[in-house]
Structure 1
Amino acid sequence: MRSDRIARILEAAAAVFAECGFERAKMDDIAERAGVAKGTIYYHFQGKDDLFCALIADVVQRLMDRWDEAARAASDPVERLRHRIEALARFLLANRRFAVMLLAEAWGNETRQQVFRAHVRELIGALERVIREGAEAGAFAVREADTAAAALFGAVSVAVLHAVFAGEPVDEERLVAQIVDQAVQGILPRG
């Protein structure tokens, strides 16, 4: 469980990174926004790269926690997948600035790239397990669960970012329902 102080630092970092970009973000600005001394940030994080990587890990863990909650609520693979896709779409919509920041900044230096890719693989692996289970039960028409999982993760992420970048008000309930329906229909067996 993260402390309140670390939570404030991570939230402030997400906001500053999203507003300024990684390179222009300053630890002083993050500290001010978090309401802590700059030394407090350095007590918990080695530097800006470490803080960025911790932020990615924190966001992914919170999403995985939501996925675990959703998995407990569903009895079959189709419903588990629907819940995961819905949770991903809602999470990205709720954390728009972070999602946009990741799109812009995750391909920075090699360390950030490796951390980002490892966490994306973790998320895709969680989707893959549900898809594989559904394929084995005959619920999904997929040959390669890993490719289907990556395609779903990418499609959901891009659909949300497309709506965010459109610059128009988003009917989140409608958008999430459309994303879930389109994503799940794409891998269900044709009948």
Structure 2
Amino acid sequence: MAKPNVVSKQDLIEAAKSCIAEHGMEKLTLKTVAEKANVTQGTVYYHFHTKNQLMLDVVKDVCQGSWNELSQTTAHDIDISVALQAAKERCGPDSFYHRLFLSLVVSGFTHQEIRQELGQLIAFENSMLSEKIRELVGDGPDSRVMGISPETWAVIMNAIIDGLAVQSLVSSDFDRERTFAELAFFFQQVLKKKQPE
């Protein structure tokens, strides 16, 4: 017997993540989430009117969780290679994060609301990353690294990670280990040039 329809949106997001981990993204439906959470499909529909909205909320939850973890430390305590490790894991062929994210990007071409919400999510990520870069290189008029502002570096870094995710998902010979190791080295060298004394 299903539980009374007293379940939080977060509980349903967790159920959706479990469904994806167990059965793959392709089998994610509002019905499978309802079954996993032991609630009615109407309860899931109440929180997420569409599968795209459910997917978007899962992506936002994973993204927010990553940034919450990163926010617990100062930028000086973060080794670039350690920070990129999380990004590398989200870019793996078995990782669902970028599969969901990129599916939503495609949906966003024809759905204005999804496009706007993804734009807000990307703006949030860029803002958080820019803040961490400023912690590393300092703030003020001299905060540019190689003539580039922390805000632009954040956009570039974010775009690189998303681009690497695409390559990881579509290219069977993509060398994630080497690519991310060399990317970490590159960012360490770039940011070293501007670290405050």
- Which consecutive residues of structure 2, in runs of 5 or more, have no partner in the other structure? 1-7
Give the TM-score normalised by structure 1: 0.71
After TM superposition, list the pairs within 5 Å mapping 1:1-191 onto structure 2.
4-12=11-19, 18-19=25-26, 26-32=29-35, 36-69=39-72, 71-72=73-74, 75=76, 79=78, 81-93=80-92, 96-108=95-107, 109-136=111-138, 140-168=145-173, 172=177, 174-189=178-193
Give, in whole Å, the separation in 2 of the partners of 1:111 and 1:17.
25
- Provide the aligned C-alpha RMSD in A: 3.6
Contact 2:19 2:36 survives alignment (8 Å): yes
Quick check: 1:8–1:34 contact (8 Å CA) kept in 2? yes
Q: Aligned in 2, Cα 1:164/1:48: closer, same or farther, shift over 3 Å?
A: closer
Residues 107-128 of structure 1, C-alpha deviations (whole Å, 9 max, x = no match): 4211111111111111111111
Q: Partners in 1 of 2:163 and 2:84 — Cα distance?
A: 13
* Cα separation, 1, equivalents of 2:65 and 2:13: 14
TM-score calculated relative to the size of structure 2? 0.69
Name which one, 1 or 2, has greater alpha-carbon Rg.
Answer: 2
Q: Which has the higher helix share?
A: 1
* Structure 1: segments with no counterpart, 5+ residues: none
Q: Are 1:18 and 1:97, in contact at CA under 8 Å, matched by a contact in 2?
A: yes
Count of residue pairs brought into register by the alignment: 181
Change (3 A) 1:14 1:144: farther
* Identity within the alignment, %: 19
